[in-house]
Amino acid sequence: MPVAYGSWLSIKGGHSRNRQEWSIQRGPNPALVPWRNNRSAMHNARAHNQGSRMDTSLLDDWRALVEGHSDIDKSQFIALFKEHGQPHEVATILEGYKHAPELARRTLEVLAAGTLPYLYLLPTQRGTPEQLAAATRRWLDVQADFFERTGDSELMTLTRNARVICKPMADLKAIDNFDIPGTWASEALGDAVREAADCHTAADYALFEAWYGIAADYGLAWYIAAPLIALDIDFTAYFELWRLGGAFLHLGEECWVAQRFEASTEAALANALQAAGAIEVTRTSDSLEAYFPSWLTLTADLVITDHTLYAEDTKQLDFSVATRASIRIKGPGPQEHSPMADLDKIANAIARTGSRFVISFQFERTLYWQDAEGLHRDV
């Protein structure tokens, strides 16, 4: 079944033996979903299935780890501050640590700077190109000063002399060669942080993992943990760039910066799928997958080069497709759940985003579409 979604989007689908398929294409929306790894996906699924018991057990597990009564792997605490981000909870988690008040202040400052519509924290501010360029320049200069102090003349020169250029987010996402000065600088900073961090126990390592897990961002983790890192560098500049919604790539002579939310159809789509009842939504660098109780699966291609809307009956819609997705139904599914009911929920949830879209079966029959007059259906 095809769906086209815009802001704009379209979906197509088909069927084979015990499987029916649809596809969706969708357009840009103002939010960006950060990368996600498999271990956090598994944790999110467990949290969904176990409900409030996960909340209690995660804090219990943390206390047991701190007291030396447990050897739970640090990856299990990646959601610690997302599930327990209230001031009293943060204070409890950090109790007994050196600089606990300052660590709590920074943790709460980062949490307050974003929102959690998805698995990781997203910044709520939207910086202008001028603000993003200035923030990027400050972060480059902070790095250059650090590399100068540590005697790395090559990285010092590269970061100091890089020319900041504002680009569309699509240009940054199109870069597939990461053997670049920005990567070298991040690796050098990471090595320095590991050597300088006051990190000795399993709980210490789990705490750093929990800070990283807030936004899947090492720079933010280093900003929060700075009181525990004996390095002469101020990560505030990085935090300010992140808070403005900035994403950057230091390519060498140029450093590109973009507002990561400008091309972010995927965040709105992910939120819509969760609102439609998806039991899990996962993301890779170029796709989004959602799983529903009826065994319906939606896979969205987030990076496309063909923006044509495909459907035999476009219902007089004409838009440039930004995201395409396919929907598959495997087998009859559980008796208590209906794939067609899930499909209807998906259509209604996408409609609430305000996007134009088309859902059709094998491009031949249009089942759902949204135009300026609202959502329509022929099912």
pLDDT tens-place string over residues 259-291: 876 545 677 788 889 999 999 998 776 788 999
20-66 pLDDT, tens digit per residue, is 444 444 433 322 222 223 333 333 433 333 333 334 588 899 999 99
Amino acid at position 1, single letter: M
245-255 pLDDT, tens digit per residue, is 999 999 999 99
Q: How confident is the model at residue 122 (pLDDT cuts 50, 70, 90)?
A: confident
Quick one: DSSP state of residue 284?
A: -
pLDDT of residue 25: 42
CA 68 from centre of chain: 33
pTM: 0.61
Whole-number average pLDDT of the chain: 82
Alpha-carbon span 11 to 358, nearest angstrom: 6
pLDDT of residue 335: 82
pLDDT of residue 121: 87
pLDDT of residue 56: 56
Better-predicted residue by pLDDT, 37 or 201: 201
pLDDT of residue 250: 97
pLDDT of residue 61: 92
Alpha-carbon span 213 to 80, nearest angstrom: 8
CA distances from 55 to 83, 109, 280 (A): 7, 22, 18
Token pair belonging to 185:
């600088």
Q: How confident is the model at residue 209 (pLDDT cuts 50, 70, 90)?
A: very high
Alpha-carbon span 109 to 13, nearest angstrom: 45
Closest by CA position to 260, among listed 132, 109, 119: 132
Amino acid at position 266, single letter: E
Alpha-carbon span 130 to 126, nearest angstrom: 11
Query: What domains sit in the chain, N to C, each tagged with a CATH number?
Result: 2-31+264-377 (3.30.310), 38-123 (no CATH), 129-198+226-259 (no CATH)
How many CA within 13 A on the CB side of residue 116? 15
Proportion of the chain above pLDDT 70, given as a percent: 83
Q: Which of 108-122, 129-143, 263-277 has the highest mean pLDDT?
A: 129-143
Q: How confident is the model at residue 333 (pLDDT cuts 50, 70, 90)?
A: confident
State the average pLDDT over residues 122-127.
Answer: 85
213-262 pLDDT, tens digit per residue, is 999 999 999 999 999 999 999 999 999 999 999 999 999 999 999 987 65
- pLDDT at position 159 over 90: yes
